[in-house]
């Protein structure tokens, strides 16, 4: 029961993570930028993220995720694979330490916990107002959703901070791009929880079978939510 109660926060974190894997670009390494505080650099950073978002149609990678809970002073580590196809489709598969799937097919979002034999399904349309990933995985303009601040370059990684223009589950999202490809994210929610993500073996714009974004609950699975009756 405790695991089920924690699911919405976990679900929100995964959804936001999908935002920026949909924002990848195959651009080459750029020369070091001017000081990050200049207005010209800030404007250019916003334009770059918009271009990057439009450039990628599919994304797949392996990931590692660490969730830090300050209230419990704990860190939960997980790993797995992710696939995204714009607009609005992704599969976020946890492999270790416990299997779990989060699949969006463009109409519905499934969260399947294999150990609990339980699936939760929601219509994507109902999630658009509070899941920034679904907006960005589609055709929305990133600067309409976030205030973007370029923080500068450390090594070969450019860092950006995005703050939602409207209240939502996240207070701040920090994104690291290396050569225009997302390699790191840090999500801070309004309850103080922090999620750190690293992406590995990134492949851009390769074909992804449509079956990757389909989910059918195995026999005996308890299904929660009403979206299943509205295909």
DSSP lists the bridge partners of residue 81 as 62, 93
- pLDDT for 47: 83
Residue 116 is predicted with a pLDDT of: 93
- State the residue range of the domain holding 108: 2-229
Q: Buried (b) or exposed (e) across 141-156, using 16+ Cβ within 10 A? A: ebbebbebbbeebeee
Q: How confident is the model at residue 89 (pLDDT cuts 50, 70, 90)?
A: confident
Its sign, for the CA torsion 97, 99, 100, 106, is positive
> Quick one: pLDDT at residue 127?
58
pLDDT band at 190 (very low <50, low <70, confident <90, very high): confident
What's the pLDDT band for 8 if we cut at 50, 70, 90?
Answer: very low
Backbone region of residue 81 per phi and psi (left: phi > 0; alpha: psi in -120 to 50; beta: other values): beta
% of the chain exceeding 90 in pLDDT: 26
Give me the number of domains the chain comprises: 1
Q: What is the mean pLDDT of the chain?
A: 77
**What distances in angstroms separate CA 60 from CA 79, 80, 85, 100, one per listed residue?**
14, 11, 9, 17
Each residue's pLDDT tens digit, 34-77: 456 678 878 887 788 778 767 878 889 999 999 988 877 788 89
* Residue 136 pLDDT exceeds 50: no
The string of DSSP codes covering 38-89 is: SHHHHHHHHHHHHHHHHH-SEEEEEEEEEEEETTTTEEEEEEEEEEEETTTE
Region 120-147: mean pLDDT is 64
Confidence of residue 90 (pLDDT cuts 50, 70, 90): confident
pTM, rounded to two decimals: 0.77
- Confidence check: pLDDT of 178 > 80: yes
CATH number of 60's domain: 2.50.20.10
């Amino acid at each position: 029961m405790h695991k089920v109660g924690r699911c919405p926060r976990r679900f929100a974190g995964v959804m936001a993570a999908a935002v920026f894997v949909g924002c990848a670009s195959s651009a080459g390494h750029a020369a070091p930028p001017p000081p990050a505080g200049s207005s010209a650099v800030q404007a250019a950073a916003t334009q770059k993220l918009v271009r990057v978002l439009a450039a990628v149609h599919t994304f797949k990678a392996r990931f590692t995720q660490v969730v830090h809970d300050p209230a419990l002073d704990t860190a939960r580590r997980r790993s797995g694979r992710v696939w995204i196809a714009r607009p609005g489709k992704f599969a976020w598969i946890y492999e270790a330490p416990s299997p779990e799937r989060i699949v969006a097919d463009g109409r519905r979002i499934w969260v399947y916990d294999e150990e609990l034999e339980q699936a939760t399904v929601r219509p994507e349309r109902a999630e658009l107002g509070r899941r920034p990933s679904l907006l960005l995985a589609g055709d929305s303009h990133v600067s309409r959703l976030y205030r973007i601040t370029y923080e500068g370059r450390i090594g070969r990684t450019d860092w950006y901070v995005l703050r939602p223009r409207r209240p939502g589950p996240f207070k701040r999202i920090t994104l690291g791009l290396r050569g225009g490809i997302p390699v790191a994210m840090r999500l801070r929610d309004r309850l103080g929880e922090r999620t750190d993500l690293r992406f590995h073996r990134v492949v851009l714009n390769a074909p992804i079978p449509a079956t990757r974004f389909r989910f059918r609950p195995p026999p005996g699975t308890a299904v929660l939510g009403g979206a299943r009756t509205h295909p």
